[in-house]
Structure 1
Amino acid sequence: MTESRNHPMGAAFLLAQLGAHAANRFAARTAELGLSPADVGLLRMIAARPGRSQQSLAEDLGVVPSRVTSLIDPLDRAGLVERRRSTGDRRNYELHLTPDAARVMDDIARTAMAHEADFTSALDPDQRKQLIALLTVIAEDQGLSPGVHPGYRGSSPRPPGAGTSSGCH
């Protein structure tokens, strides 16, 4: 890539740089809640689909079911998630947030909003909307699952040209 004085780095580098910076700052914020960013993601996914099975969560995360067990265990011990035997299939457990998790979810929402506002403070509302729209196009083209951080599976890079341009998911 040819570097210019105005744009010495490419988009991929800047996204990686900003992504690492945002992730570190978010981790510091969630640590104040006693949670990791992974914990926050799992709680959000369970809140979005209460009663989902560990198997369905594993599929959405792109990990083996045993990995979900190790991710959920600390949240269970903390009293934020409970496993209930499925009434439809006794071999499966359904995941539910506990009443204590409702307070934590409010804290997470406030933390996430403050993080978003701080991170995008250099942009006006129209620029922020445009940035989100452009990043969504790139994420869809790269085949990323909406709302699922690839860090759960230690995602491996896709070969060049493996993305789709349809935008359908």
Structure 2
Amino acid sequence: MDTPEPAGIQIDQQPGYAIRRLHQISVGIFLQEAGELGVTPVQYAALQVVGNQPGIDQRTLARSIALDTSTTGGVVDRLEARGWLERRLSPQDRRARQLFLTPAGEQGLADTVPAMLRAQEQILAPLTPRQRTEFMRLLLVLVTQNNDLSRAPAEVAGR
């Protein structure tokens, strides 16, 4: 197989470039929809996981949303400073901190969900319903099969 000359490579035909652009677009749409709430996509993910799993520890949260622990720490710090998350000592391990939504955090999450859903709809709007299903199926294959290659692999259920 011949390797193309660097000058012959079209950047907009490369999957990595297209994925990066889609991520930029996705974040832009999310912030357009949820910007007035002051929530980023990563903060939303943290709030949703803590809301779904009250008492989750910070390390498990990091694995759940595929972030490194120091980045997750910053996200938790900002949400705690905002009064949306609370850290509590774990009764089983005094070194671990469990995370819980505060009442303000529960309300913030509830307020963010409609904006998040609008953003998801807008991201997929150019696709037909059948294309959306196929896109999501293929996207999840790529994410799942390449998970271990990430600098911050997500914890995959059943593995």
Residue in structure 2 matched with residue 124 of structure 1 by the alignment: 128
Q: Which amino acid aligns with 1:29?
A: E
Residue in structure 2 matched with residue 108 of structure 1 by the alignment: 112
Residue in structure 2 matched with residue 63 of structure 1 by the alignment: 68
3-state secondary structure, aligned to 1:89: coil
Give the direction of change, closer, same or farther, for the CA distance of 1:128–1:105 in structure 2 (3 Å limit). Answer: same
Q: What stretches of structure 2 of length at least 5 have no aligned partner?
A: 153-157
3-state secondary structure, aligned to 1:79: coil
Post-superposition CA distance 1:67-88 (Å, at most 9, x none): 4333212211211101112112
Choose the corresponding residue for 1:28, options 32, 35, 44: 32
TM, length-normalised to structure 1:
0.72
TM, length-normalised to structure 2:
0.76
Choose the corresponding residue for 1:81, options 73, 82, 85: 85
Q: Which amino acid aligns with 2:16?
A: A
The answer on whether the counterparts of 2:89 and 2:97 sit within 8 Å (CA) in structure 1 is: yes
Asked which structure has the greater RCO (Cα within 8 Å, sep 6+), the reply is 2
How far off is 1:29 after superposition?
2.8
How far off is 1:3 after superposition?
7.7
Residue in structure 2 matched with residue 163 of structure 1 by the alignment: none
Q: What stretches of structure 1 of length at least 5 have no aligned partner?
A: 157-167
Runs of 4+ in 1 over 4 A off after TM superposition: 1-4
Q: Distance in 2 between matches of 1:68 and 1:10?
A: 30
Choose the corresponding residue for 1:97, options 79, 83, 101: 101
Give the direction of change, closer, same or farther, for the CA distance of 1:140–1:93 in structure 2 (3 Å limit). Answer: same
Residue in structure 2 matched with residue 162 of structure 1 by the alignment: none
Residue in structure 1 matched with residue 15 of structure 2 by the alignment: 11
Give the direction of change, closer, same or farther, for the CA distance of 1:104–1:62 in structure 2 (3 Å limit). Answer: closer
The answer on whether the counterparts of 2:47 and 2:101 sit within 8 Å (CA) in structure 1 is: yes
